[in-house]
Amino acid sequence: MANKSILVTGGAGYIGSHVVLQLVAAGEQVVVLDNLSTGFENAVIGAELMVGDTGDRELVSRILREHQVGAVMHFAAHTIVPESVADPLKYYRNNTCNTRNLLQACSEGGVRHFIFSSTAAVYGIPEDPLADEQTQLAPINPYGTSKLMSEWMLRDLSAASPMTHVALRYFNVAGSDPEGRIGQSTRKATLLIKVACEAAVGKRDHVSIFGTDYPTPDGTGVRDYIHVDDLADAHIRALDYLRAGGESATLNCGYGHGYSVREVLDTVSRVNGSPLTIHEEPRRAGDPPMLVARADKVRKLLKWTPRHDDLEFIVRTSLEWERKLLAKPPE
């Protein structure tokens, strides 16, 4: 029997649009639901775009019914950590309450498989900087808490119904489509590689290092950076896994090793061919010295093998996209 269609919420955003691209390339029927608050219409390639909100249960139910949706990939969320601290209810409304609404519609509509975009922020500042899926869950900001609450709802719904799910806890996502079709166009971005590449092409006058006295080899924070194309591939494999009868699972998604802030900035300078202007600032509250994924489980369970585990490649695709945006900003 042919697979039913796939609903991708937030499919006009950074990660969602890369997943849509791979789903379409695999021959899947895809419909995207996005309110375009942070996404872009021209980032949706090869799929139907429905402009609307996951909080609109009538709209969601109609899409599930009319498109015969059998699986949902849920990316729609607010993702800026400092904003979540300043406006927590915005994050609980969109990331938690709207996810509950979506899950209700999926349950009533007979959706069998659900892939959830979660985050390493659910771990907070773990004692062991190498975090596995059993690491204590202790988010330190409303963004991480809003995602963890969604994980719990999904866990409980799967236990009470035929739905199966995979929650992928992302570490630091970066890079852009290697063919240059789409990329990270997020306005007011806070992710390091995006910010550094914006500075490299002249959109910012400097890059800040927040903390140079951490107990790491060069004193700056260490993170696990994963190319968005590899992350998208993990979602495709998660769906294949569930369709083959796999049990619900929560999985870290990273490469299992990290780079320091200085290493990232040095790589951006080298690939760009000119040095960045760097300001050294005090530590930010809530930044762990090091956070890296133990990612053995995702590789084994989903038979996932990253293709772009190379900081220079990640930076190069990011820089190429920033240059493209400079020539033609997103609409």
Separation of alpha carbons 179 and 108, rounded Å: 39
For residue 210, report the phi and psi dihedrals to the nearest 5 degrees. -95, 95
Q: What are phi and psi of 290, to 5 degrees?
A: -150, 135
Determine how β-strand 113-119 pairs with β-strand 290-293: unpaired
Residue type, 3: N
**Bridge partner list, 181:** none
Residue that is written with structure tokens 């869950």 in the block: 137
| Measured distance CA(215)–CA(221) in Å, rounded | 9
Specify whether the CB–CB gap between 90 and 78 falls below 8 A.
yes
- Write out the H or E segment, with its range, that includes residue 161: none
Q: Report, as residue numbers or ranges, the catalytic residues.
A: 143
DSSP 264-330: HHHHHHHHHTSPPPEEEEPPPTT--SEEEE--HHHHHHHT---S---HHHHHHHHHHHHHHHHHS--
